Chain A
Amino acid sequence: MLRRADPRLLQAAPDAGYDGDGAGGPTGGGIAAAGTRGGSGEDEPPSAPAGIVTEPFAAQPLATGPTGTGPGGAAELIGGEPATVVRLRHPWRWVAGALVALLVAMLVRSLATNPRFDWSVVRENFTTHATLMGLWVTIELTVISMAIGIILGTVLAVLRLSPNPLVSSASWVYVWVFRGTPVIVQILFWNFVAALYPTLSIGIPFGPSFVQGNANTVVTPFVAAILGLGLNEAAYMAEIVRAGILSVPEGQSEAALSLGLTRLQTMRTIVLPQAMRVIVPPTGNEVISMLKTSSLASVIAVTELLYSVQIVYSRTFQQIPLLLVAVIWYLIVTTILNVGQYYLERRFARGSARSLPLTPWQRLRRLVGTNHARPAMAGAASPAPRSDRR
């Protein structure tokens, strides 16, 4: 028996106007949604697109029915006869849910009871100086390499789109080389570059040099790791930025050029800001990926997070607990980065999406279902990224 009357569906739909106070009705979702869109006191009436921005609740047939009948029952008049609305049940979801719950329980029990996880060792090493220094170096590697990747990648993307074939193929070759070889090989290569060029100098090509240095002192393992990670990242970022630039309609740059902006001004003020919507999400992934890839620097003895715990367990032989220290720290930082990415994406959705998605906080409040938690709240919140512009 899949279909039956479910009194709970009344609780499920209060946000969509079924709040029983008569103020809701079929337009409840629409009004709220119009608020979501305008958000800045616009006088636009609730209109057709409202349906698009309402939450799934409002989109269900129940919520779009003719009139709410108050809290007493889900009865509606269909063909003159009172009829009860029933919601489709999903029995397999319950089976899958139970299975997942079982697996989680097994995992938790194992984590708690298997003595070889040695949680006390994890706790002891979690905030030692060595661990925190390692974490700091990991963050440094991530930030500097990503900065190099983003800046150089943007330059490469712009060069790639240059009308000069020599310039654009140079950019292509760069991407071909750096994307076509493993990053660990590149890191090792930069670490041993001193063997190739024992002295490095800055000066006029084929002419005198102004600054000279021993390659081994200039290219420390840390610098080698930065070069390996950053130059590799630039190749990936170049493709991401290029896709972003190509996503901006040509009419946009033509409109800017016709105002008298130079190509550089057009790129900076019109094309790149709009490309951001396409660039930011994959770049967030790249940052998270870089955080993890930076652990490769351990092979050339850069004391980042992984190498720091390796140093400890090579002495104590408590590999698993110490690796757990690293694992937990990596998870903490990636979680923070995920949250940052989410808000950054919202920020750059401006001017494209009609309404911004709710933040998790707003979703939570809606779920809890207080008065403030209506969809209209999204309207109250969405102008925020706009009003902070000046």
Chain B
Amino acid sequence: MSAAGPMLQIRELHKSFGRTEILKGLDLDVDRGAVVCILGPSGSGKSTLLRCVNRLETVDAGWISVDGELVGYRRRGNRLYELPDKEVARARANVGMVFQHLHLFPHMTALDNVTLGPTLVHKESKPVAEDHARELLGRVGLADRASAFPNELSGGQQQRIAIARALAMRPSLILFDEPTSALDPELVGEVLEAMRNLANSGMTMVVVTHEVAFAREVADTVAFMDGGVIVEAGPPRQVLEHPQHRRTGEFLSKVL
């Protein structure tokens, strides 16, 4: 753990699927406690970027570091050694992820969804994990649904439990991949509210979203991504109201 330096650093990141290059030398820094919202057209590689940060995808070139540690590799001298499964898992525990498609575990109650990681990965005892889980469920406004199964909950409730599940690991960084895109419009607000509270609590967050209003209000930095690179990044007011880049302007005129 290094207290200095950005929480997330991405340098010259390249990633291809087969012959198609999706990420083309992408750079991004996220400071501790900062909220970065990434906007961009569909297919521009936003999900791929987040998946690389959590090493659900391997990278072809460039590097990513979270909290001062390289993702997926260890450097010795001028060589990078690929990390074994166990250490990749340990590093992932430090990065929370909330998915677009509400990947709660359907065969477990809300409470068990939240306690699974802490008990298996951090080896917390069941009572300790459950106390913490109940507190987190309270924070996302679902203290009374601890024993519900996901299919008994609305999409918005499921997504808030997914947020509690990510928080339970006490991560340094949480990645959100379009957390409200699969929700009915009337359920979007409650999830954004939970995320806003989280941002106010000082959590470092990278949020891929189409909710421009949320980005404007909550983000410290808005980054616009297109064609596998970050086209421009800066304070929300600047990027959203005076975009420097033509493509940013075009995109914003479509979503606003």
Given A258-B54, A259-B121, CB of A273 within 8 Å of CB of B152: no
Contacts of A42 in B (CB 8 A): 148, 152
Contacts of B166 in A (CB 8 A): 259
Distance from B127 Cβ to chain A, minimum over Cβ atoms (Å)? 12
Contacts of B147 in A (CB 8 A): 40
Distance from B175 Cβ to chain A, minimum over Cβ atoms (Å)? 8
- The 8 Å CB contact of B105, one of A44, A265, A270, is A270
| In the bound complex, CA of A273 to CA of B108 (Å) | 10
Quick check: B107 and A261 within 8 Å, CB to CB?
Answer: no
Q: Does B99 contact A (CB under 8 A)?
A: yes
For chain A residues 249-303, which have a beta carbon within 8 Å of chain B? Answer: 249, 251-252, 254-263, 265, 269-270, 273-274
Distance from A232 Cβ to chain B, minimum over Cβ atoms (Å)? 31
For chain A residues 195-253, which have a beta carbon within 8 Å of chain B? Answer: 249, 251-252
Q: Does B40 contact A (CB under 8 A)?
A: no
- The 8 Å CB contact of A257, one of B86, B92, B169, is B92
Q: Does A38 contact B (CB under 8 A)?
A: yes
Given A42-B148, A269-B120, A351-B151, CB of A259 within 8 Å of CB of B107: no
Q: Does B228 contact A (CB under 8 A)?
A: no
Contacts of B243 in A (CB 8 A): none
Q: Does B140 contact A (CB under 8 A)?
A: no
Q: Does B165 contact A (CB under 8 A)?
A: yes
| In the bound complex, CA of A249 to CA of B103 (Å) | 9
Given A255-B103, A259-B169, CB of A351 within 8 Å of CB of B150: yes
| In the bound complex, CA of A256 to CA of B169 (Å) | 12
Contacts of B121 in A (CB 8 A): 259-261
Quick check: B117 and A259 within 8 Å, CB to CB?
Answer: yes
| In the bound complex, CA of A260 to CA of B165 (Å) | 12
Quick check: B116 and A259 within 8 Å, CB to CB?
Answer: yes
A-B contact count (CB 8 A): 78
- Chain B window 220-252, contacts with chain A (Cβ cutoff 8 Å), 1 for yes, 0 for no: 000000000000000000000000000000000
- The 8 Å CB contact of A274, one of B107, B116, B152, is B107
Q: Does B83 contact A (CB under 8 A)?
A: no
Q: Does A366 contact B (CB under 8 A)?
A: no
Q: Does A365 contact B (CB under 8 A)?
A: no
For chain B residues 57-113, which have a beta carbon within 8 Å of chain A? Answer: 85-86, 89-97, 99, 101, 103-108
Given A254-B99, A265-B120, A354-B151, CB of A260 within 8 Å of CB of B169: yes
Quick check: A260 and B107 within 8 Å, CB to CB?
Answer: no
Quick check: B101 and A251 within 8 Å, CB to CB?
Answer: yes
Quick check: B93 and A259 within 8 Å, CB to CB?
Answer: yes
Contacts of A269 in B (CB 8 A): 116, 120
Quick check: B105 and A255 within 8 Å, CB to CB?
Answer: yes
- The 8 Å CB contact of B56, one of A44, A257, A260, A261, is A257
- Chain B window 38-68, contacts with chain A (Cβ cutoff 8 Å), 1 for yes, 0 for no: 0000000000000000101000000000000
Give the one of A38, A255, A265 with max B CB within 10 A. Answer: A255
| In the bound complex, CA of A312 to CA of B50 (Å) | 72
Give the one of B93, B97, B99, B152 with max A CB within 10 A. Answer: B152
Contacts of B103 in A (CB 8 A): 249, 251-252, 254-255
- The 8 Å CB contact of B117, one of A38, A249, A260, is A260
Contacts of A164 in B (CB 8 A): none
Given A257-B89, A258-B56, A260-B90, CB of A351 within 8 Å of CB of B106: yes
Quick check: B99 and A255 within 8 Å, CB to CB?
Answer: yes
Q: Does B214 contact A (CB under 8 A)?
A: no
- The 8 Å CB contact of B85, one of A38, A255, A256, A263, is A263
Contacts of A251 in B (CB 8 A): 99, 101, 103
- The 8 Å CB contact of A260, one of B89, B105, B106, B151, is B89
Residue positions of B touching A, CB distance < 8 A: 54, 56, 85-86, 89-97, 99, 101, 103-108, 116-117, 120-121, 147-152, 162, 165-166, 169
18 sample A-B contacts, Cβ–Cβ < 8 Å, listed by A number: A251-B99, A252-B103, A255-B162, A257-B56, A259-B116, A260-B91, A260-B94, A261-B116, A261-B121, A262-B85, A262-B89, A263-B85, A265-B120, A350-B107, A350-B149, A351-B108, A351-B150, A354-B151
Q: 4 nearest interchain CB pairs?
A: A260-B93, A255-B103, A259-B117, A258-B97
